[in-house]
Amino acid sequence: MALKKITVKASRGYDILIGGGLLDNAAEHMKRAVKAKNFAVITDDHVAPLYGDKLADSLKSAGFSVCQKVFPHGEASKSSYTLNAIYDFLSENSVTRSDCVLALGGGVVGDIAGFAAATYQRGIDYIQIPTSLLAQVDSSVGGKTAIDLPSGKNLVGAFWQPRLVLIDTNTLDTLPEEFFIDGLGEVIKYGMIKSKSLFELLERHDSLGIRGVLEDVIYECVSIKAAVVEADEFDSGERMLLNFGHTLGHAIEKMTNYTGISHGRAISVGMRMITKAAENSALTAKGLTNRLTACLERYGLNAEVAFTPYELAKAALNDKKRMGEMIHIIVCKDAGKSEVIKMSTNEFILLLS
């Protein structure tokens, strides 16, 4: 079994392991990362039947004790209601500061289980075991944890680094195609902001062909993310690049109540809109919008939305990324080259008008 490893040097350093079949030897990898004797698996009702038992068996045969909390899948679970249920579960199972949470699932599981670990007893260890492409290339790395509020996504959270990220690429075999496509939205984002070679590889493939080189693609995305997180763990500079397409993308998700369009599709629209606006204002190389649009189309990420860029820009200003009266916008000057531009909210509205 091929095994790739990336080490993140954050406030607390940790390894990211990437490979097919890693879950089979989960306990072994965990032993090296944490001292815990008890593990609390947090997962959802899609993932639990697929990998919950497998994980628990691996841990139990290694002599650990395991408890498991399963909540309904989907973004609606990323709420204070589920969070409180997780707290109660941890407390009822006498989980202590020397135990460890395992976040087994996609982005929702990783975000809420990570936030529970960040705050239960003022912070306990946790390990990310992402099972969706989106979580594997993006949300499981970097220590951003969160829940949603009724008024917006990710409005409550913490920076809390995991002790280990275990990416078993075999779990993608059971991922429904629509979620796979969705994750490719973030993959294309990495190409756009930091890796010309990744973007060009994506331009040559499609959603079927890309599966043949998936481990390399994931490795490249995670490497970019790890480097960006190391440079700016607490999201006040470089890390903002990862938000490319997200300001407008989040606005789309919000205006459709997080049910109308998936995250990957929303940020795909966001990337296209901001790139088009930037190209119109000569902030971006001529023709990049067309290249991006063509690339997105290859992966079925060419959704249309019922909102104008202007409407979305207005909506985005209620988002958390509005820093007082100045905001930070990410634009790509060319494929693989991005920058943070600081502008007033008025300039932002104008840019999108």
Per CB under 8 A, residues contacting its own copies are 37, 80, 83-84, 87-88, 91-92, 94, 96-99, 115, 118-123, 144, 146, 149-152, 154-159, 234-235, 318, 320, 322-324
Pairing relationship of beta strands 152-159 and 144-149 according to DSSP bridges: antiparallel
| Nearest CB to its own copies, comparing residues 37 and 204 | 37
Query: Beta strand 326-334 with 152-159: parallel, antiparallel or unpaired?
Result: unpaired
To which residue do tokens 């300039």 refer? 347
Would you say 157 and 145 are in contact if contact means Cβ atoms under 8 Å apart?
Answer: yes
Shortest CB 154 distance to its own copies, Å: 8
Q: Is 207 exposed, middle or buried (0-12, 13-18, 19+ CB in 10 A)?
A: middle
Residue 334 three-state SS: strand
Q: 9 or 204, CB closer to its own copies?
A: 9
Q: What is the nearest approach in angstroms of its own copies to the Cβ of residue 99?
A: 8
Q: Which is nearer to its own copies, 205 or 322 (CB)?
A: 322
Minimum CB separation from its own copies for residue 11, in Å? Answer: 9
Q: ∠ CA(265), CA(290), CA(216), 5° rounding?
A: 60
- Minimum CB distance to its own copies, residue 24 (Å): 28
Choose between 62 and 213: whose C-beta lies nearer to its own copies.
Answer: 62
> Which residues lie closer than 8 Å to 53 by C-beta, 6 or more apart?
none
Neighbours of 291 (CB within 10 A): 17
Give CA–CA dist 297/292, Å, rounded: 9
* Min separation Cβ 155 and its own copies, Å: 6
Least distance from C-beta 94 to its own copies, angstroms?
7
Distance CA 73, CA 45 (A): 6
Q: Which is nearer to its own copies, 151 or 346 (CB)?
A: 151
**Cβ distance to its own copies smaller for residue 5 or 12:** 12
CA dihedral sign of residues 132, 137, 143, 149 = negative
